[in-house]
Structure 1
Amino acid sequence: MKQTKSLHFSLLPAPEAQQISIGAVVQGSILAILFFLGIGGMLYWAFAPSAMLEILIPIGIVGCIIFTFVLRKRSLRRLGLIVLALWLVGFCLILQTDVLNGLCLTANRIGEVLGQSFGRIYPIYDISVDQSGYELSATLFFIPVSLLLSLLSGYLAYTHDAAVSLAITAGIIFIYVFLKIEIAVIWLLLLVLAQFLLLAQAYGNRQNFYGGFTTAYRSVAAIAAGVFALSAIVVFLTVPSYENSPLKNTRESLIRTVDQIRYGVEPTLGMPDGDFTNLQAFEPSDETALEVTMEKPESLWLRGYVGSVYNGHGWSESDSKSLYEYADIFYWLHRDNFYGQKQLADAAAVTGKASYDQAFGIHVNNVGASSRNIYAPYELYMAGGELMPADIIGDTALVSTGFRGQRQYEYLSLPNIVKRYPDIMRELYGDDAETKLSTEAFLTVESNYAEYIYDQYTQLPEDTTRWIEQYLSDVLPTQEEANYANVKQAIIQYLTEQTEYSTEPSQAGSGDFAYDFLFLDKEGYSVHYATAATLMFRACGIPARYVEGYLITPQDVQSAADHSVFQIDGTHAHAWVEVYQSGVGWIPVEVTPPYFGLMEEADSLEGVPGTRPESTPAASPENNTVENQEEIPNQVDGEKAVAGNLLLIILIIVFAAAAIFFLWRYWKKRQMQFKKKVEACLNEKNNEAITAMFICAMDALSTLGLKDGGVWLLEQLRRELKPVDGVSEKRIAQVFAVYEEATYSAHEMSQESRKEMEDFIEEVYLLLRERFVGLKRLKICGFLKLAAEIKSAHEKR
């Protein structure tokens, strides 16, 4: 009797139509709230310090709960988004003034953060309310932002989109680290917790995170722990504040190597840019470092690297955060066209000691020196905005822009007036009626710059101050008795009598470069002398900076014609100290014995530390005394710095662990898929093996342009074969017939049919190997490996 079978169909409700479980909503809400608190808290902490969190956080939490529910109901999603959009538009229109003020406050805060990070002046937007209304305006602006963040958090909780959440988390962490923003630990921990739970859920196929889920947690934790050691090594190698790290020398060596590659530094053609770690002997090369073309040949000090802060093993630039305290001063200085890099030339111009007619062009081609520095004279008269941007704070030197720095540049200079700056200084403070008006205006502006100078460049580390007072108090004049002349004389006399010039000095290694030179080794070359002299000038209340650059000597320019090209080699590299003279600005001072008389200098230094002549119309002397200067704000103590370093380690570890985790997950998934394909293609049943091999072959041919749409019909394949060169229609028809028979017939396929499909796999294999070479082969490496497995199994049979 013939048996009959009947087919039964049943209609099941779509997942969206099924009742949403309360547990799923609660779980999603918790995850969304954690993300909102982490993301929102980090952003509010950095960019909205005046906003009222007691209002924004409850709004965001309620929004997370609502959006978690709405996103799970397809029928409510579109309506919910429309309502939110209409509400946001209405809210912003009704409270337009307050929202715009809040936007401007936020933009100003972002500019402040950027300024503290990069030492630049960013635009400040006008606020139409007084300071008492800042809190309300900022809060009203961030209410819509909170709702949008809660929508984003609800989306992450609903979709478990690990890629988006990791991108957001990594972006926030990068912003904090890159901009050196102080981290609020509580918000960071909440963000890390939310990210951890989402990763664990994604790993555990979206099971709930409060029970029966220990395997996923253990896996994620194991990966994080495994990354810790590698991340710690990377952090100790790359974070500059780890001064006591056992890998300190390795880290600094790595940084120097990177800088040499980035800026094309040739050590034998220049100086160490203030880094005295593992300082080598001074063995300058006679190869060209700079090609300098001057319209009118002049002997000049070409200032390059300027060291502002002494750290015991070298010099560094001033901290951007402390520089930003003077943003207002430099904004107005630059608005008045006052730049510290060209102060000497401006002083000469306003006193009539020099004019534009005397200015001449200089073109510099940096052949082998460090391109991080722009080499320019003290007589600089004019430079382009790229070299001397108006938004920079500090005016230490010209700015070399670009990742690799600048190799060629031009500027205008006055003739050598360093040697006659006392005449300019006397004219500035003189009673000449013809120049009185211009000099008064100039000195009024200059007094603001001098305030910054005396704050920044009379500072010494506590340890340095201690040993200077202990060992040099009898050598240096007291600040009450000091003037520029007797301080210079005392410094040069001590250095000449107590130390010896040597291009191959020994290194005691006590941890303080200047201390070793002055009291232990007592030998060194220009970097040693310039460093010691800078510290000693500062100890006497005279603003001073450490400088590296190149010397174009009177002998070099002797008898040279106009527009001559000077080949400045490594023997011209030198370090010196520059001191600030009231009115005229920075003046180079030679303190290295073998170089005495090599360059033209004034007969003596003039002036009194921290004061001006009584005739000055600018600020009174009391305003410039070192004793009356306030301490530089925002100094970070040691414990706070250590805490910040630990937080930085945590951030890098979390990000690295997440990245490695997902790379590992992706690799494991691909491996699992490949294993299943191999098992299917090597199945003992010929029908299943033939079907699997044909599917794999079609997938592989898709890389050559075959578009089958996932539905295999012979006529469709023939049409799509036209753009695929190397596969004939006849061959496709043959293997398609075998595939069709294996898939839809009830009988067992023969070994010959299986062999025919294996031969087709081999043909596709050879075709792809021919078409994909080099890195392109990575695209089809999976199929190539699969074909090799099939061939190997066939040979074994």
Structure 2
Amino acid sequence: MGKLIYTDRKNKARVIVCEVVLALLTAVAVMSVITDLFNIKFNISNIASGEIAGGFACFVNSIADTLLINDGIVLKHLSGASENCELFLVLSTVVIAALVYGIIQSGKKWLIFVIPMLALLPMLCTSARQNVFGVLFLLVMTLVSFAYLKSKSSNLVPGIVQVTAIALILLVALGFPVISVFFEKADFASAVKGFTTRNVSNLYYGTAPLGNGELTGDKRNVQNDIALEVSMSNPQATYLRGYVGESYTSDRWSALPYATYKESRNLMFWLDNEDFNGLGQLGQADSLVNDTNTIDIQIEVKDANKKYAYLPYEYSGENESLLNWYDSYITNGNFGRMKSYEFKAYENATGSWTDTAGKLFTSSADEKISEYLKDESWFNEFVYENYTYLSTKEISLMQEYIGDRGDQREGHIEYSTAIKKVRDYLNQNFIYTQDPGLSQDAVMEDFFKNKKGYDTHFATAATFMFRYYGIPARYVEGYLVTPEDVKNAGEDGQMSISQQNVHAWVEIYIDGIGFVPIEVSPEYYDVMPQANLDTGFENSIVRSDFVPENSGGGASTNQVLQNNTSQEESSILQVIKIIVLILLIVLLLAILALLLRKLINSYRRFNFFKKGEPKKAVAAMFEYLETHGLSFDDRAVELGNKAAYSRQSISPEERDFMLFQVKSAKKADRKERLRWKRLK
């Protein structure tokens, strides 16, 4: 007999409208997160002029650009891309809304979290910056939809009140100093947010002994394994630059933010077409003023990190199969590892860069040198704008321990003076030790306070100091090919470079000739050949028209404000990412636990139905049919009563018949449910 269903059409219309609005708002929140994450602009006026296929290509290309700049993930661009993708975004929002509406209609509460989880997953796996309010909006809409389903479409008010209360408690809690400081601790953020990415990266690329800019290690723990096999046609001592730290936050170095790279793409493309080699600028400058030969170098990576190419400062040019990251470092792209590669380089110039700088500006009448200096002036401006920045926190640290940086209105202090100041300060006041026992919370503050550390701390402190003096500087990790290694090279010029040769140093930008390595760790003063600072090289040699106006004091006021703002946003975003990650993990574990429990119980139940003692099994099956409201015939009732109330035994055949009844009843019930859903 069928069931009578009473339908209040007016109430049903309200329910449909409510569900459609919920689905649309959730879809808008999802698209807001995605467009913010991948820096995709949305202008409502462009919808009429857009197209679906071209918009899809534009959408994919925007994602590819963001992943390329932030994480080194190389995706091919699609051809036929439009200038905008608004129409595609609108249609995608409608499709997502339809999916959410379908989930709401299904009544499966846990399914409502699937789409937001998929939308938030890229945020946790990429370094791209995300709008905090977009994430909060998505979380709130997901919780509202969940509350709606939980209330069985009858009354939204209790659910909305609950969600609002949760959101207010969360926001208020984050405002309390104790909680906010707890979330902002570097060790907590690193443990929660960075754990997965660091370990996956180490597993895939190999462990970076010095952490690739991560300064929270409590000791310098380096093995004696072979890191690199290096072959040179003319063996010579050299610095092999690998990881380059450009921006410092939360006790670690990282690359420049996406916005900076995006603004400079045209400049870097133009400089590349002009054959300006910012990555090997020192070698290029030296070849213009000296009779310099090139040598062939082959590197096979053994136990070293395979994410970055290890290249000398005299690198002569770019291998087109590799990816040059704005003349800072090189990777393979496409998730490739730098296992084995070869290139050409000019003869070593890091030990004579002072002579190179002097000759370059006294020979500038040469046409090639004049063209080079013109190109360098553009790159020079990019360098000063981005590598003299210090946060207010780091400036305060420098003022406390270094003191006044002098009048820099006419330009930064002279190079040799700055180098001597940095070396003397670190050499006279600090102890080099591989086990400094520094705090894991504020590493560099503890370094300046306790005055002990190893090369990563010395290099970071020197980078701060050079920037404080107005000189562009970057933090570098790589390997040293020492004179001792050259002495022990085989007949084919092959050298085995140990992990003991891994090193961190600071590189500073010398106007005209590019970045040069500066040794600031006392333990390494006599390891590598160093340029003679007493050869008459002076800052005044550099022509003032190649020095940007803002070079004297580091970044401009606007840039400092923008960077401070971005750091504050990054700190808030970090907290949000941690919260989202924890919620997703807890939710995923809860869902898995429920599914596992359900599967185990189902397996045990039907295993008992099939193999248990016949009388008990039939009684249990009859109870199962009754409690689940399943249909059964008179024979099943007879057997159930016989098993439950009679002293008569039950045969295995009767047990099998009852099991068949259970299976048939469940199958019929599924069909009936589907039929009623279609009728609704």
Bucket of the pairwise TM-score, normalised by the shorter protein: 0.7 to 0.9
Q: CA deviation at 1:487?
A: 1.4
Matches within 5 A, 1:550-699: 550-558=479-487, 560-604=489-533, 612-613=542-543, 619=546, 621-622=548-549, 624-626=551-553, 629=556, 630-631=558-559, 633=562, 635-636=564-565, 640-641=569-570, 643-648=572-577, 651-652=580-581, 655-656=584-585, 658-660=587-589, 662-663=591-592, 666=595, 670=599, 677=606, 689=618
- 1:432-472 per-position Cα deviation (integer Å, ceiling 9, x unaligned): 66xx3333332233222222211221122323322423442
CA contact (8 A) 2:316 2:346 kept: yes
- Corresponding residue number in structure 1 for 2:296: 360
1:270-323 residue CA offsets vs partner (Å, 9 max, x unmatched): 43433332431x575544232222222111111223222344745343334444
Distance 1:383 1:108, change over 3 A: closer
SS of equivalent residue, structure 1 residue 277: coil
* 1:496 matched residue in structure 2: 427
Change (3 A) 1:664 1:295: same
What's the secondary structure of 2:117's corresponding residue?
helix
1:318 corresponds in structure 2 to 256
Distance (whole Å) between structure 2 residues aligned to residue 482 and residue 458 of structure 1:
13
Q: C-alpha separation between the residues in 2 aligned to 1:369 and 1:116?
A: 24
Separation (CA, whole Å) in 2 of partners of 1:189 and 1:105: 27
Task: Could you tell me which runs of 5 or more consecutive residues in structure 1 were left unpaired when the two chains were aligned.
Answer: 1-8, 57-91, 130-136, 202-206, 233-238, 694-740, 762-797
User: How far, CA to CA, are the matches of 1:380 and 1:511 in structure 2?
Assistant: 38
- Aligned-pair distance for 1:40? 2.0
Q: How far off its partner does 1:665 sit?
A: 5.2
**For the residues of structure 2 that align with 1:490 and 1:757, how far apart are their CA atoms?**
95
Name the CA shift for 1:587/1:188 in 2 (closer, same or farther; >3 Å): same
Q: Is the 8 A contact 1:304 1:548 kept in 2?
A: yes
Query: Which residue matches 2:215?
Result: 276
Amino acid of the residue matched to residue 275 of structure 1? E
Task: Report the Cα offset of residue 45 of structure 1.
Answer: 6.5
Match of 2:130, SS?
coil
Judge conservation of contact 1:580–1:587 (CA < 8 Å) in 2. Answer: yes
Query: Which structure is higher in RCO with an 8 Å CA cutoff and minimum separation 6?
Result: 2
C-alpha separation in 1, matches of 2:310 and 2:331: 10
Letter in 2 for 1:155: G
Task: State the partner residue of 1:529.
Answer: 458
Question: What are the within-5 Å matches in structure 2 for residues 379-418 of structure 1?
Answer: 379-389=314-324, 392=325, 394-399=326-331, 405-418=337-350
Tell me the secondary structure at the aligned position of residue 207 of structure 2: coil
- Three-state SS of the structure 2 residue aligned to 1:361 is strand
Return the letter of the residue paired with 1:174: L
TM-score by length of 1: 0.64
What is the distance in 2 between the residues matched to 1:159 and 1:316? 45
Cα offset, 1:182, TM superposition? 0.5
Equivalents in 2 of 1:474, 1:20: separation in Å? 79
Q: Which residue of 1 aligns with 2:395?
A: 465
Gap change, CA 1:627 and 1:610, over 3 Å in 2: farther
Residue 51 of structure 1 pairs with residue 43 of structure 2? yes
| Structure 2 counterparts to residues 470-481 of structure 1, below 5 A | 470-473=400-403, 480=410
Matched, 1:298 2:274: no
Change (3 A) 1:49 1:398: closer
Contact kept, 8 Å, 2:286 with 2:356, in 1: the verdict is: yes
Tell me, yes or no, if the aligned pair for 1:29 and 1:154 is still in contact at 8 Å.
no
For 2:253 and 2:234, how far apart are their aligned partners in 1? Answer: 34
C-alpha separation between the residues in 2 aligned to 1:98 and 1:199? 36
Q: Given residue 390 of structure 2, which amino acid in structure 1 is its aligned partner? A: L
Counterpart code for 1:170: M
Q: Secondary structure at the match of 1:636?
A: helix
| Contact preservation (8 Å) 1:538, 1:544 | yes
Q: Are 2:373 and 1:443 equivalent residues in the alignment?
A: yes
Is the 8 Å Cα contact of residues 459 and 538 (structure 1) preserved in structure 2? yes
1:751-766 aligned within 5 A: 754-755=651-652
Provide the secondary structure at the position in 1 that maps to 2:323: coil
Shift of residue 484, structure 1, vs aligned partner? 0.7
Per the TM alignment, residue 678 of structure 1 is displaced from its structure 2 partner at its CA by: 7.1
1:25-82 C-alpha deviation (Å, 9 max, x unpaired):
3213211211111212441565364433xx99xxxxxxxxxxxxxxxxxxxxxxxxxx
Consecutive unaligned residues of structure 2, counting only runs of 5 or more, are 175-179, 623-634, 659-680
Residue number among 170, 184, 191 corresponding to 2:133 in the alignment:
184
- Say whether the 8 Å CA contact 1:500–1:522 is kept in structure 2: yes
**In the alignment, which residue of structure 1 is the partner of 2:150?**
200
Counterpart in the other structure of 2:121: 174
Secondary structure, aligned partner of 2:416:
helix
1:23 maps to which residue?
11
- Taking the aligned partners of 1:254 and 1:198, their CA distance within structure 2 comes to 35
Segment drifting more, 293-302 vs 419-428:
419-428
**In structure 2, distance between residues paired with 1:514 and 1:687:** 71
Instruction: Tell me if structure 2 keeps the 8 A contact 1:677–1:692.
Output: no
Q: Give the residue type in structure 2 aligned to 1:181.
A: Q
For 1:98 and 1:760, locate their aligned partners in 2 and report how far apart those are by CA, in whole Å. Answer: 62
Of all paired residues, the percent bearing the same amino acid is 23
Q: 1:687 Cα deviation (Å)?
A: 13
Query: What SS does the aligned partner of 2:292 have?
Result: coil
| Alignment correspondent of 2:669 | none
What code does the residue aligned with 2:20 have? Answer: A
Return the letter of the residue paired with 2:413. A
Q: Is 1:292–1:567's contact at 8 Å kept on the other side of the alignment?
A: yes
- Report how far residue 488 of structure 1 moved: 1.4
C-alpha contact (below 8 Å) 2:314/2:345 kept by paired residues: yes
2:416 — aligned with what?
Answer: 485
In structure 2, the residue corresponding to 1:340 is in which secondary structure? coil
Q: Distance in 2 between matches of 1:427 and 1:190?
A: 64
- 1:170 Cα shift? 1.5
> Residues 474 and 438 (structure 1 numbering): CA distance in 2 closer, same or farther, change over 3 Å?
same
Instruction: Name the aligned partner's letter for residue 420 of structure 1.
Output: S
Task: Verify the 8 A CA contact 1:297 1:562 in the aligned structure 2.
Answer: no
> What is the DSSP-based 3-state SS (H/G/I as helix, E as strand, rest coil) of the residue aligned with 2:381?
helix
2:625 alignment counterpart? none
Matches within 5 A, 1:342-353: 342-351=280-289, 353=291
Go from structure 1 to structure 2 and tell me whether the alpha carbon gap of 1:407 and 1:172 turns closer, same or farther (over 3 Å shift).
Answer: same
- Write the distance in 2 (CA, Å) between the matches of 1:378 and 1:192: 52
Count how many residue pairs are aligned between Structure 1 and Structure 2: 623
CA deviation after TM superposition for structure 1 residue 409, in Å: 2.9
* Cα gap change, 1:563 to 1:678, in 2 (>3 Å): closer
- Distance, in Å, in 2 between the alignment partners of 1:260 and 1:442 is 39
Distance 1:449 1:242, change over 3 A: farther
**What do the CA deviations read for 1:574-616 (whole angstroms, capped 9, x no partner)?**
32221111222111112233433432232228876699425x7
Structure 1 CA distance, aligned partners of 2:74 and 2:597?
Answer: 49
Is 1:308 the equivalent of 2:308? Answer: no
How far apart, CA to CA, are the structure 2 residues paired with 1:99 and 1:402?
A: 27
After TM superposition, the score normalised by the length of structure 2 is: 0.74
- 1:538 aligned counterpart, secondary structure: helix
- SS of the residue aligned with 2:11? helix
Q: Which residue is 1:134 aligned to?
A: none
Backbone CA RMSD of aligned residues: 5.1
The answer on whether the counterparts of 2:610 and 2:655 sit within 8 Å (CA) in structure 1 is no
Report the secondary structure of 2:329's partner residue: coil
CA separation in 1, counterparts of 2:93 and 2:380?
Answer: 46
Aligned pair partner of 1:209 in 145, 154, 160:
154
Match of 2:24 in 1: 36
SS in 1 for 2:13: helix
- 2: distance between equivalents of 1:661 and 1:492? 56
8 Å Cα contact 2:385-2:554 kept in structure 1: no
Does the alignment pair 1:265 with 2:193?
Answer: no
Relative distance call for 1:195 and 1:412 in structure 2 (3 A) is farther
Bigger radius of gyration among the two: 1
Partners of 1:649 and 1:559 in 2: CA distance: 50
The one-letter code sitting in structure 2 at the alignment partner of 1:563 is D
Mapped contact 1:115–1:324 kept (Cα < 8 A): no
